[in-house]
Amino acid sequence: MKDKIINGLRFAGLGFMEPLVRLINGEEPKKNSINLVKRVVIPVFSIFLFIMIWHGGATYLYNVEADAKIEKALNDQGEEAAKEMEACIASGDVSCKPNALPSPLEVFGAYKKLMKDHAEISVKKDEFKQKVAKTNEQRVAKGQKPITYTGRPSFVDQIGTSLKTVLAGFVLALLIAVPIGIIIGLSDVLRNSFNWLIQIFKPVSPVVWLLLVFMIVKTLITDPDLDKSFIISFISVGLCAMWATLVNTSVGVSSVDKDFINVSKVLRLGVGKNIFKVVLPASFPMIFTGLRITVSVAWMVLIAIELLAQSPGLGSFVWEEFQNGSSESNAKIIVAMFVIGIIGFMLDRIMIMVQKVVSFEKTEIA
């Protein structure tokens, strides 16, 4: 039972909890206590230390900004105005609150407001669906498009849109990069011929890819009912992120053990069987490493692409809050920053788990 729990924790990326499990089972108390401190207690302490430093820095910057506002009021309008400004700041009035780095408590408050806003918008959506349910049934029966909710999306809705865009971009990158990487990897001539193209396009900025995709999509897609901003966003994400998978697939295929290739020739395997039975299994670790990098890159470039493409998502959310410029908006931006980082970390963990599952299946089949 203990071994099953430990293996499950390792599989889920929670191997740092292993010393606690062993300690509960009375296994080597001294050794596992030390490991528990190293792998759990110290990391937790580092989190509290980070929050303390953040709070201290935010307090310092708040005081600097407050002193600057009071000094400006004193120089521009006199001592009475400076006292009024000081009293206003002390009261916490939003109109005169220093616009500095938000504290951890302010960020947590912004998070709660965003969740409350999401709950209110969800209620409005449900009410709207109930109101138009019969009408939509009639429209669908007539072959017409149903009426959809077009109100303001919540923060959670925008997270969902960003995830959908990243998923579509990742699938596009996978469908383009893996086949081309296999073809190039199987031929030294093709690999040398197209290497210059890969090296030129790989470092191109997502902004440039976005502009290129925009020029093509606006010309080819004229249907007003299609969401052009989403199409532009996910294609741009896919083109920006596919290069790691392309390069890793090419390198992985080209470095397959020659003995495997010779065996496939002896067995007279066809091209398809040779690729799927020999080449891909042998180059899978390299390919999956490229896919992990592709997911990370896709999530990183997404924010800039959504911002420029005006696609509803976290990029648009961050830009709109930045345009507001209030202290509450700054806190919401930091909430988005943490959400972006946590989701990026979770996507990487998911890719690792998928790799373990596929590798395990391959081992079992073998």
Exposure letters 154-179 (e unless 16+ CB within 10 A, then b): bbbbbbebbbebbebbbebbbeebbe
pLDDT at 53 over 70: yes
Distance CA 315, CA 263 (A): 51
pLDDT digits (tens, 9 = 90+) for 135-154: 878 777 877 777 777 778 88
Residue 207 neighbours by CB under 8 Å, 6+ apart: 304, 308
Distance CA 303, CA 316 (A): 8
pLDDT at 265 over 80: no
pLDDT of residue 8: 61
The architecture (CATH level 2) of 153-365 comes to Orthogonal Bundle (1.10)
pLDDT digits (tens, 9 = 90+) for 181-236: 988 888 888 888 888 888 888 888 888 888 999 889 888 887 777 778 888 899 99
pLDDT of residue 18: 65
| C-beta pairs of 340-346 under 8 Å, 24+ apart in sequence | 340/299, 340/303, 340/314, 343/159, 343/163, 343/299, 344/296, 344/299, 344/300
pLDDT of residue 366: 34
- Helix/strand/coil for 154: coil
AA identity, residue 47:
I
pLDDT of residue 87: 86
pLDDT band of 342, cuts 50, 70, 90 = very high
Give how far the C-alpha of residue 2 lies from the chain's centroid of Cα atoms, to the nearest Å. Answer: 34
Does residue 56 or residue 281 have the better pLDDT? Answer: 56
If you average pLDDT over every residue of the chain, what do you get? 82
Q: Among the ranges 3-7, 11-15, 257-261, 317-321, which has the highest mean pLDDT value?
A: 317-321
Q: Average pLDDT for residues 172-181, to the nearest whole number?
A: 92
Beta-carbon neighbour count of residue 117 at 10 Å? Answer: 14
pLDDT at 315 over 60: yes
Distance CA 100, CA 306 (A): 26
Query: pTM, whole model, 2 decimals?
Result: 0.81
Does residue 350 or residue 23 have the better pLDDT? Answer: 350
Report angle CA 212, 182, 268 to the nearest 5 degrees.
Answer: 155
Q: Average pLDDT for residues 82-104, to the nearest whole number?
A: 82
Tell me the domain boundaries of the chain: 2-96, 153-365
Cα 56 to Cα 59, 106, 364: the distances in Å are 5, 13, 54
* Helices and strands in the chain, H and E counts: 16, 0
pLDDT of residue 304: 85
What single string gives the DSSP state of each residue in 289-347?
Answer: HHHHHHHHHHHHHHHHHHHHHT-TTHHHHHHHHHHH--HHHHHHHHHHHHHHHHHHHHH
Cα 156 to Cα 121, 218, 294, 324, 347: the distances in Å are 10, 29, 24, 19, 17
pLDDT at 94 over 80: no
Q: Answer for the pair 303, 340: CB distance below 8 angstroms, yes or no.
A: yes
Q: Which of 127, 111, 147 is nearest to 339 (CA)?
A: 111
pLDDT of residue 365: 33
Q: Average pLDDT for residues 96-110, to the nearest whole number?
A: 87
Does residue 325 or residue 217 have the better pLDDT? Answer: 217
Q: Average pLDDT for residues 302-316, to the nearest whole number?
A: 84
Q: Average pLDDT for residues 86-97, to the nearest whole number?
A: 79
